[in-house]
Amino acid sequence: MKMLRTMLHTASFAATLAFLTSAQAQGVMKIGEVNSYKAQPAFLEPYKKGMELAIDEVNAAGGVNGKQLELITRDDNANPGDAVRVAEELISREKVDVLMGTFLSNTGLAVADFAKQKKFFFLAGEPLTDKIIWGSGNKYTYRLRPGTYMQAAMLVPEAVKLKKKRWALVYPNYEYGQSAVAAFKQLLKAAQPDVEFVVEQAPPLGKLDAGSVVQALADAKPDAIFNVLFGADLSKFVREGNTRGLFQGREVVSVLTGEPEYMDPLKEEAPNGWVVTGYPWYGIATPEHKAFLAAYQAKFKDYPRLGSVVGYTAVKSIAAGLKKAGSSDTEKLVAAFKGLQVDSPFGKITYRAQDNQSTMGAYVGKTKNDGGKGVMVNYSYFDGAKYLPSDAEVAKLRAPD
């Protein structure tokens, strides 16, 4: 009898534990997040803080559809194969409701293809290649940040104003860099038919031989330079370019350089007068950004980077999509994101139904070395909705879902 009572007690405890576990699971919606945290910490450490702030805000307001959001992150080692492996783990082992994240364009494309094969919702926050929404676009993948076409479209009118004919191009030799340069060349040539591209330097990502690259650019004697390097490669390029006088008397147009995660490390070497896209967090006076800045600084005792805005807005987008869908059912979520409007630190954005791209824009301005610190000046916010191809053009670029 004693053994029987013990067995019954054990069985009862196990049943109770299973019930509580099930009840707890029913009260949570899981976001599975894949990213290159170890490889790209400058952007992704602030990005993670932005996600945490958004999770806190959503849950403090009651969660989504009565459920709390839970964030589960995995590192993809900046490798497409690893990105797919951990995405599979998040779905099969962690039972996440949605997938989100990726930084590099090649890992983003790999997870987007995985989402298509698995018929599972994926919000790509950061990858800038336009293949993710056009050439390789699929109904299960949406993207938050303005891609290479949008950023080139914002910068080209500024490049045309410079009235320079001979351009040099420098970019990391992988999907993002190739995509950015292709868009810039296409749009600048259309706006300024007499333009010439006199030299291209495309070093492997993270393996820039700054001396040889700067010398090759200088030897071509360009009037202006279009730069797509970022992170440690950008720092090496700027240092060597300053040393060798590459930028003296030459205009530079540069994607991403105005973002504090890439500008701040330059310190006293920060360039003057480059036309850039970026994030002048210290000067944005809109109510929505002021509220974000105050909440971020209160929680982390630090200023935000662009990664912070992307991580924050990605989570807010997932929350808004889940709320509109009324569940985490993939097909309902895919439908809910079509035309979804989301409040962001940059104002209201919309996920376009025709290509799953958000209308988040970017700040465009010029760099200034302000007493040994790089800042953006003379900047304006460029609404992403104004820098996207027409519906007719998108129909040619993107296969039907």
Interval 163-189: pLDDT, tens: 999 999 999 999 999 999 999 999 999
The answer to whether the beta carbons of residues 128 and 340 sit under 8 Å apart is no
Residue 357: give the domain boundaries: 26-147+285-361
- Within-domain flag for 18: no
Residue carrying structure tokens 């360009």: 222
Name the phi and psi angles at 284, rounded to 5. Answer: -90, 115
> In angstroms, rounded to a whole number, what is the distance separating the alpha carbons of residues 83 and 106?
10
Rounded to 5°, the CA angle 133-115-178 comes to 40
Domain CATH code at residue 318: 3.40.50.2300
What is the SS3 assignment for 202?
coil
Same domain membership, residue 185 and residue 62: no
Which residue ranges of the chain lie beneath pLDDT 50?
A: 1-4, 6-8, 10-25
Same domain, 207 and 268: yes
Residues 305 and 339 in one domain: yes
Let me know whether 382 and 255 are in one domain: yes
Note the pLDDT tens digit of each residue in 43-97.
999 999 999 999 999 999 999 999 999 999 999 999 999 999 999 999 999 999 9
Sign of CA dihedral 284, 286, 290, 296: negative
Alpha-carbon gap, residue 47 to 375, rounded angstroms:
20
The pTM of this model reads: 0.91
